[in-house]
């Protein structure tokens, strides 16, 4: 018989609001209430289960900062939870919160938990453009516990050289991975397109996808006015889309509560284990190896180990997929081919299913639960990463419970990447002399012209440098026409900035 304290995902719901006018659009609280009630309906149980919630975990919603958003949700559901959580920002946080609720259940601290998240960036941007002030509900009694740390994702020095956002930074990893794999630019471009074309196939079948459209590898990677280059080597169609209005919710019970509420056996998806980790080198510019990600391996292998499984035992996978490099790095760290027949998404990924800020992984978990129910006995893995391959979380699920004590599913201390370099490398503020490139990108303006070259590498003494290239357009166009990793050049420092002149 299943242990009473085994965590069970019994219901999930997703919501998509497309192009509603700002004044009539659902506000965050309304979206969260809808997916909460939808999750209860999906579990085939009455709304009364929501009134008996003892745990609510809510992902931070961009643009909405009431005193206690989890408390507001509880009021809407007539619930009086003992534990309320809100979170930091980060693409891993949905998995982290699901793991947290499951751990509370294994310890006997919770019977009925709800994990919710929404994104209203589309409405926010449209309201700002129209000069409309959004009157979203504020307040909420009590004070929730914060999960995670409110910490910047990039350093002041990185910002000064142009590494300010995901669109600037993920190309750094992509170019480093290409060079590590010794791929020429054309072959690499084709492989990026093939990888994400398979994601669009899944999105095209997903009723909750923001862009449910199949695109070929060539269409994804060919630069056109509609698919302009953002930062080399990513044109627009290979970038996550954040301006969506989406929400998702998960209802997680103990096995004892699931039986007590009469949840049908075929609706139950069991948590087998989870893990999370952070890069020791928090700032991207200080990573010892731009083509490796120790914490990603730690968290994923830790989740598999807590589930008593190997990656080959997994039937369905959803890797966090904001950019191709996020998926490629997961493959690199787990020794998986990028054409693995299982595929790497159950949603379609952030550029196509939608990238609802920190809440994407809740959509991945909801979609995973549906796929697992369609394939009884199968096992699924969902991962998330926050900031720039910085914070990682993973969880494993199945319609079949793991044998043994439920507490054995608790998250282990990750330690699976012991031989990978971890220690941060200090970046010299004033770089001079000879330098060799380890990674780079070129950022483009909205007219499709190369505007800024950003490079990272080592001086002759082995120290890490961060610099810009000269802004000359001819130089930048030549710079992206051939491989630059390993290229030598001359470093100089003037007017407060480092400059790299290719040899």
Nearest residue to 382 via CA among 113, 149, 102, 151: 102
**Domain C-terminal end among 376, 393, 409:** 409
Is residue 311 within 8 A of residue 331, CB to CB? The reply is no
- Label residue 357 by pLDDT band (50, 70, 90): confident
* Same-domain pairing of 398 and 439: no
Give the DSSP H or E segment for 11.
strand 7-16
In this predicted structure, the answer to whether residue 39 has a pLDDT above a threshold of 70 is yes
Neighbours of 458 (CB within 10 A): 17
Q: What is the reported pLDDT for 417?
A: 60
Q: Is 276 a domain residue?
A: yes
* Same-domain pairing of 402 and 485: no
Structure tokens at 162: 């142009």
- Write the pLDDT tens digit of every residue in 246-274: 999 999 999 999 999 999 999 999 999 99
Q: Is 43 a domain residue?
A: yes
- pTM confidence score: 0.96
Cα radius of gyration rounded to whole Å, the chain: 23
In this predicted structure, the answer to whether residue 201 has a pLDDT above a threshold of 60 is yes
Of residues 206 and 494, more confidently modeled: 206
* Same-domain pairing of 144 and 34: yes
- Label residue 48 by pLDDT band (50, 70, 90): confident
The percent of residues in the chain predicted with pLDDT above 70, rounded, is 97
Neighbours of 218 (CB within 10 A): 12
Report the number of distinct structural domains present in the chain: 2
Q: What is the CATH number of the domain that holds 23?
A: 3.40.47.10
**Domain C-terminal end among 376, 409, 442:** 409
Q: Provide the residue range defining the domain that includes 326.
A: 7-153+242-409
Give the DSSP H or E segment for 86.
strand 83-87
Q: What's the Cα-to-Cα distance from 207 to each of 26, 102, 196, 250, rounded to whole Å?
A: 19, 28, 19, 18
Nearest residue to 233 via CA among 496, 444, 21: 444
Q: What is the reported pLDDT for 408?
A: 47
- Label residue 149 by pLDDT band (50, 70, 90): confident
* Same-domain pairing of 450 and 331: no
- Write the pLDDT tens digit of every residue in 105-126: 999 999 999 999 999 999 999 9
């Amino acid at each position: 018989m299943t242990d009473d304290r085994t965590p069970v995902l019994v219901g999930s719901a997703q919501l998509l609001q497309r192009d509603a006018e700002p004044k009539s659009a659902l506000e965050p609280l309304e979206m969260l209430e809808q997916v909460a009630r939808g999750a209860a309906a999906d579990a085939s149980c009455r709304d009364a289960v929501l009134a008996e919630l003892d745990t609510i975990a809510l992902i931070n919603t961009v643009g909405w900062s009431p005193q206690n958003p989890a408390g507001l949700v509880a009021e809407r559901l007539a619930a009086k939870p003992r534990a309320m959580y809100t979170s930091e920002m980060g693409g891993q946080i949905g998995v982290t919160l699901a793991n947290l609720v499951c751990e509370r259940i294994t310890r006997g601290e919770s019977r009925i938990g709800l994990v919710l998240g929404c994104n209203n960036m589309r409405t926010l941007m449209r309201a700002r453009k129209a000069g409309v002030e959004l009157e979203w509900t504020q307040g909420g009694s009590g004070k929730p516990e914060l999960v995670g740390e409110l910490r910047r994702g990039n350093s002041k020095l990185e910002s000064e050289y142009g590494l300010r956002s995901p669109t600037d930074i993920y190309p750094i990893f992509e170019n480093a991975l290409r060079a590590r794999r010794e791929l020429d630019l054309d072959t690499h471009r084709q492989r990026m397109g093939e990888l994400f074309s398979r994601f669009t196939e899944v999105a095209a079948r997903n009723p909750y996808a923001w862009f449910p459209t199949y695109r070929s590898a060539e269409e994804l990677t060919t630069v056109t006015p509609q698919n302009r280059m953002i930062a080399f080597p990513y044109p627009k169609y290979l970038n996550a889309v954040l301006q969506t209005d989406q929400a998702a919710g998960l209802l997680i019970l103990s096995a004892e509560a699931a039986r007590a509420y009469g949840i049908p056996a075929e609706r139950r998806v069991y948590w087998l284990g989870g893990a999370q980790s952070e890069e020791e080198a928090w700032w991207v510019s200080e990573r010892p190896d731009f083509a490796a990600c120790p914490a990603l391996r730690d968290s994923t292998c830790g989740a598999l180990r807590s589930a008593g499984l190997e990656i080959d035992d997994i039937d369905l996978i959803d890797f966090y997929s904001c950019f191709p490099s996020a998926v490629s790095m997961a493959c690199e760290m787990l020794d998986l081919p990028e054409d693995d027949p299982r595929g790497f998404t159950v949603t379609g990924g952030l550029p196509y299913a939608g990238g609802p800020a920190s809440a994407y992984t809740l959509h991945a978990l909801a979609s995973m639960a549906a796929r697992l129910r369609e394939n009884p006995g199968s096992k699924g893995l969902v991962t998330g990463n926050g900031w720039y391959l910085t914070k990682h979380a993973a969880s494993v699920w199945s319609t079949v419970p793991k044998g043994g004590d439920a507490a054995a599913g608790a998250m282990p201390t990750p330690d699976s990447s012991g031989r990978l370099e971890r220690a941060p490398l200090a970046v010299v503020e004033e770089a001079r002399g000879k330098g060799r490139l380890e990674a780079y990108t070129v950022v483009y303006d909205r007219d499709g012209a190369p505007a800024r070259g950003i490079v990272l590498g080592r001086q002759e003494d082995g120290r890490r440098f961060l610099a810009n290239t000269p802004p000359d357009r001819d130089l930048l166009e030549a710079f992206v026409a051939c491989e630059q990793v390993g290229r030598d050049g001359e470093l100089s420092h003037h007017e407060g900035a480092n400059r790299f002149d290719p040899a």
